[in-house]
Amino acid sequence: MNKSVRNLVLVLGDQLNADASAFDGFDPAADAVWMAEVREESEHVWSSQPRTALFLAAMRHFRDERRAAGWMVNYTELDAIANTGTLAGELARAVAFLRPARLILTEPGDWRVWRAMENAAEGLGLVLEVRPDRHFFATLEDFRIHALGRKQLRLEYFYREQRRRHRVLLDASGGPEGGEWNYDQENREGFPKTGPGVLPAPAAFPPDATTQAVLALVARYFKGHPGRLESFDWPVTPAEARRALADFIQHRLPGFGRHQDAMWAGEPWLYHSRLAAALNLKLLDPREVVAAAEGAYRSGLAPLASVEGFIRQILGWREYIRGVYWLRMPDYAAVNALGAEAALPAFFWTGETEMTCLREAIGQTLSLGYAHHIQRLMVTGLYTLMLGVEPKRVHEWYLAVYVDAVEWVELPNVIGMSQHADGGFLASKPYIATGKYIQRMSNHCAGCRFDPAKASGEDACPFTTLYWDFLERHEARLAANPRMALQVKNLARLAPGARQAIRERAAAIRANDGNPPGAQNGTRQAALFD
């Protein structure tokens, strides 16, 4: 008969921080840690292979590091014979074995998992103590207070509060460094026609033996799932995450702001940090990230516009998005203000399309588990928004394919920011654009058989067609939004014949599962996966 433990600390796959509140008072002689790899977490959405691999690899490294520190870690591997495949089932097995007096958990990042853990504890007749997540600058209560009495939320107000409260990038008088809170106007440049030049390659993290074992396991267990594992190269420990941060600060932060929105074929990383997954798994503390970026400005390594732009993403957007998630869940997952009902095009799972920008963004997403913000917002998200795909389907795709996808951050970005399905709660207007935006910000259109200037006809760019079609379908709603007035006015300038041709072309795209009719969509797949 084994000795029962005092506290069993539950650690989920995105809670890999030994300093988390759940470990306050942890006594290795009396307490134990519980972790489980379960199929359910890779199957509730069709989780891509790189995403599952990253979670499992980081979890195993955390387990090994804690065991080396002398902690008891009750851990179920995915292929353990008795594995029930669910968190609740695995917890029940561990409780039967360890007979803890109490369960302790840091606030989960995902509404579904929080409820599941509460229900599981209740079913086992055990007290579950849920402790605040100290990872974030703002607590859930801070955000609730910020939101109190506001009909609409806007990042800018919250971001300024965060800067003041946490004393980030302030001058001696307590005002914003350089006199402005936001330097976004300086951050919207594309690359010249000759391209981005020689880019600093990000630090590499080749899989060690632990990660290699996970890659083999995932390839076997989730063979039919989307995504590829050959290029797996993500930091999976806190030490690696810190090295990734240092590498970004030194080599890419200086160029981050200026080219933040730019895209270039075959260049997935550009000046981006690749830190979202390490942050979301809690391998990295956002305070450390923000301090390192501010330090780069103070030491003259990086310009203010880059540093402010980067800090706004972490201290502003990341925290704002989390606040919105917890304020609006569970109903937020079901909102559909624009009544979008279309299915997600099948090519989102394969990259098989003649539209170069989508082929690039989806191809890179499937092979790396990564696309940068503008690819997510202004290529894939823009397309599903204007096509009219049901937001829930879009949300499931994003949650499945990105290595950094966890629901608290993915869902509001998709539902609110990208699909405008919350009717403007998170962002004041829908992000819509013609193919000309993509032409300005990338080199994709140069190699594409469609013409971003054309809205109808055989070679019309589907983004341009769907842009006008979207305006027309939602004209009444958009006319009431002052930020959309100019775009709605331009629609009125189109001749009735042109509007009819656009309508027909848009209907044909919809009838062809989101691909422009007549396109040779299967022919590009070999190139994509070469």
- Using the minimum distance from each CB to ligand FAD, give the nearer residue, 130 or 377: 377
463 binds, among ligand SF4, ligand FAD, none (CB under 5 to 8 A by kind): ligand SF4
Tell me how far, at minimum, the Cβ of 521 lies from ligand SF4, in Å.
12
Q: Say if residues 363 and 263 touch (Cβ distance below 8 Å).
A: no
**Piece of 25-33, 74-82, 232-240, 396-404 that binds ligand FAD (CB under 6 A):** 396-404
CA gap 23, 98 in Å, rounded? 18
Phi, psi of 413 (to 5 degrees): -60, -40
Among 106, 418, 456, 515, binds ligand FAD (CB under 6 A): 418
Q: Rounded to the nearest whole angstrom, what is the least distance from the CB of residue 450 to ligand FAD in the complex?
A: 23
User: Which amino acid belongs to residue 361?
Assistant: A
Minimum separation from the CB atom of position 409 to ligand FAD (A): 4
318 belongs to the binding site for ligand FAD (CB under 6 A): yes
By CB under 6 A, what part of segment 117-136 binds ligand FAD? none
Nearest-angstrom CA–CA distance, 232 and 235: 10
Residue in this structure with the two tokens 């632990």, named with its chain if needed: 210
- Which residue, 305 or 385, has its beta carbon nearer to ligand SF4? 385
Q: Of ligand FAD, ligand SF4, none, which one does residue 75 interact with (CB within 5 to 8 Å by kind)?
A: none
Question: Using CB under 6 A, which of 274, 359, 392, 420 touches ligand FAD?
Answer: 274
- Identify which range of 167-175, 255-263, 431-439, 467-475 contacts ligand SF4 by CB under 6 A: 431-439
Among 38, 57, 105, 377, binds ligand FAD (CB under 6 A): 377
Contact 297, 311 (CB under 8 A): no
Contact between 100 and 32 under an 8 Å Cβ cutoff? The reply is: yes
Q: Which of ligand FAD, ligand SF4, none sits in contact with 355, Cβ below 5 to 8 A by type?
A: ligand SF4
Entry field: residues in the chain = 530
Q: Is-contact 382 393, C-beta < 8 A?
A: no
Please report how close the Cβ of residue 441 comes to ligand SF4 at its closest, in angstroms: 10
Q: Is 380 in the site for ligand SF4 (CB under 6 A)?
A: no
Q: Please identify which residue in 7, 364, 439, 443 interacts with ligand SF4, judged by CB under 6 A.
A: 439
**Cα–Cα distance measured from residue 498 to residue 494, given in angstroms and rounded to the nearest whole number:** 6
Pattern of binders to ligand SF4 over 390-419, x per CB under 6 A?
------------------------------
- Strands, sheet with 7-10, edge to edge from the N-terminal-most edge strand: 72-76, 32-36, 7-10, 102-106, 128-131
- How far apart (Å, rounded) are the C-alpha atoms in residues 305 and 309? 6
Instruction: Decide: 513 and 345 in contact? Cβ < 8 Å.
Output: yes
Q: Is 272 among the residues that bind ligand FAD (CB under 6 A)?
A: yes
Task: Report how many residues bind ligand SF4 under the rule CB under 6 A.
Answer: 14
Using CB under 6 A as the binding rule, whether residue 273 contacts ligand FAD is answered as yes
8 A C-beta contact, residue 202 and residue 245: no
Cα three-residue angle 424-108-160, rounded to 5 degrees: 45
Q: Is residue 281 part of the contact set for ligand FAD (CB under 6 A)?
A: no
d(CA 35, CA 74): 6
Which of 181, 463, 467, 468 forms a contact with ligand SF4 (CB under 6 A)?
A: 463
- Helices 238-251, 286-298: crossing angle, 10 deg rounding: 30
Q: Which among 307, 300, 298, 272 has a CA at the least distance from the CA of 182? A: 307
From the list 340, 324, 321, the residue with the least C-alpha distance to 381 is 340
C-alpha–C-alpha distance, residues 36 and 60, integer Å: 10
Which three-class secondary structure state does DSSP give residue 8? strand
| Of 227 and 435, CB closest to ligand SF4 | 435
- Using CB under 6 A as the binding rule, the residues of this chain from 349 to 378 that contact ligand SF4 are 355-357
Estimate to the nearest angstrom the gap between the alpha carbon of 82 and the chain centroid: 33
* Residue nearer to ligand FAD on the CB measure, 273 or 521: 273
Position 100, amino acid: P
User: Site residues (CB under 6 A) for ligand SF4?
Assistant: 355-357, 435, 438-439, 444-445, 448, 450, 452, 461-463
User: Site residues (CB under 6 A) for ligand FAD?
Assistant: 272-276, 279-280, 313-314, 317-318, 321, 372-373, 376-377, 381, 398, 402, 404-405, 409-410, 413-414, 417-418
